[in-house]
Amino acid sequence: MELADLVRWTPISVDFSGPAPVVYWADLSGESFVEPFFDQTVARWAAGPRARSLVRTGLDALEALDGEPSLEPAGMIFHLSRCGSTLVSRLLRTVPGVVVLAEPAPLNALLGLDPGRLTEATLVRLVRLVVRALARCRHQHDRLLVLKCSSWNIRRRAVLAAAFPETPWVWVQREPVRVLASLCAKPPDWLRVQTAPAQAAWLFGLDRAAVPAMSRVEFAARTLGAMLAAAGADPAQRLCLDHADLPAAVWQDVLPHFGLTADATTRHRMGVESRFYSKELTPRAFTGEPAESHRITEEMRVAARRFAEPGYRALARTATGR
């Protein structure tokens, strides 16, 4: 296959485990990112009738194809985890012409690299190239991109800011003790970094020697504190949202912050969409979270108060509706 044939293909994985970095491309030219997360769209495509063999290239293909038209980034979404950010991204997806890339694996692969692997300048360049390749113009009606980042990506916010310095961003948060209870009830993959103290040290700024002795609750609370500190350190072009202000804050505040507009029909569609569980593939009416599934213990209260609430309160003073 010629390189030019990859113009409308999408990088779905970037692998740095071998002797040379590899990019895997998929023909998603006929797909739309309608699932809550990027990887879910890839999985649907892979199981469907339009699936084709992946194409493997080096990083140089990203550079070679960068002259092709890509969607302009209207905004980025960063968040504390388990705080309503997926609802924000799903509502923005209802705006005509807006494409939402939610937590794409290739971006996470780059931002999760040990800082010693690449220079900061090289990482910034690769992040820009990957995002632009992900946002390649594939459908005639697509006009703008919203990038939803994984929660821990806020610790690498400086890289994304350097790659897209003109792009505004939102920070979504929630009372830390509630986030902590959710994380402990259903731990995300990134919490497993506690088993790799060196990685936990550079990713979250924690004491490498102290990480193994931390309880799961303390470690999770400290990571939340690190994320909040990172969000608080970069106020430029930032809009803070609290879980309590959703969903109305999306059409009242996020849209104008990203330079987007929505007519009455779109706003109504957002209201309807907000009544469903945001992370599920098929619509299911939201009925609330069972209290027992996110039980808050005294250990959680103490850890949240000590490590995360100061940062949360500081940002809450700037949040919409406060």
Diameter over CA atoms, the chain: 60
Q: Tell me 285's DSSP state.
A: B
Asked whether the beta carbons of 54 and 145 are under 8 A apart, the reply is no
CATH class for the domain made up of 3-316: alpha beta
- pLDDT, tens only, 201-216: 999 999 999 999 999 9
Pairing of strands 22-26, 144-148: unpaired
Helices (H), the chain: 38-46, 60-64, 85-92, 105-111, 120-134, 157-163, 176-185, 197-204, 216-232, 248-249, 255-257, 264-273, 298-307, 309-316
Domain ranges of the chain: 3-316
For tokens 């507009």, the residue is 261
Reply yes or no on whether the pLDDT at 321 is more than 60.
no
Q: What percent of the chain has pLDDT over 90?
A: 89
Reply yes or no on whether the pLDDT at 194 is more than 70.
yes
* Pair of tokens at residue 113: 């690299």
- pLDDT, tens only, 19-72: 999 999 999 999 999 999 999 999 999 999 999 999 999 999 999 999 999 999
Quote the pTM value.
0.95
- pLDDT, tens only, 58-108: 999 999 999 999 999 999 999 999 999 999 999 999 999 999 999 999 999
322 band by pLDDT with thresholds 50, 70 and 90: very low
Strand partners, 242: 173
Quick check: bond before 247 cis, omega within 30?
yes
Query: Is the model more confident about 162 or about 282?
Result: 162
CA distance linking residue 273 with residue 237, whole number of Å: 27
Strand order of the β-sheet with 238-242 is: 98-102, 144-148, 72-79, 169-173, 238-242
